[in-house]
Amino acid sequence: MTSIHPNKFLEALDQQELKDSIIIDVRELHEWEYYHLKEAQLIPMQQIPHRLGELPEDRDIYLVCAHGVRSYRVAEYLLENGFDRVINVDGGMAAVAMLRGFQYD
């Protein structure tokens, strides 16, 4: 299992190093609506098995959730299903938000 520290993830994102990658947010819609990365695509965890065909096998797939637990499980699932370029963002959006300074209502 490959993972990335949220600092390194945000640094790579800010430096446009992830433009050839895909970022999947596996949280639920109500969590996404609260805050999310504009570069991410929402595919809730429960939808992943039904949407495998939408995921590229030839690009890095970064996975993020609220705290890194669901995305870790999705990463395991993707690895078991033939995806080998899967990276889990440690700490999830909680860590990203703390570092990025997202404002909450």
Q: What is the secondary structure of 84-98 as a DSSP string? A: --EEEETTHHHHHHH
Is 6 in contact with 99 (CB distance < 8 Å)?
A: yes
How many structural domains comprise the chain?
Answer: 1
pTM for the whole structure: 0.94
What end-to-end distance do the CA atoms of the chain give, in Å? Answer: 35
Q: In what order do the strands lie in the sheet with 86-89?
A: 2-4, 86-89, 61-64, 22-25, 40-42
Is 72 in contact with 1 (CB distance < 8 Å)?
A: yes
Q: Is 80 inside a domain boundary?
A: yes
Is 63 in contact with 88 (CB distance < 8 Å)?
A: yes
What's the pLDDT tens digit per position in 69-105? 999 999 999 999 999 999 999 999 999 999 987 655 4
Q: Is 9 inside a domain boundary?
A: yes
Residue 76, SS3 per DSSP: helix
Distance (Å, whole) CA 57 – CA 34: 30
Q: Is 93 inside a domain boundary?
A: yes
Is 78 in contact with 61 (CB distance < 8 Å)?
A: yes
What's the pLDDT at 105?
40
What's the pLDDT at 102?
67
What one-character DSSP code corresponds to residue 91?
Answer: T
Q: How confident is the model at residue 1 (pLDDT cuts 50, 70, 90)?
A: confident
Minimum mean pLDDT among 17-26, 28-37, 68-77, 96-105: which range?
Answer: 96-105
Catalytic residue positions, numbered: 65
In this predicted structure, the answer to whether residue 53 has a pLDDT above a threshold of 90 is: yes
What's the pLDDT at 103?
53
CATH number at residue 16: 3.40.250.10
Q: What is the mean pLDDT of the chain?
A: 94
Q: Is 105 inside a domain boundary?
A: no
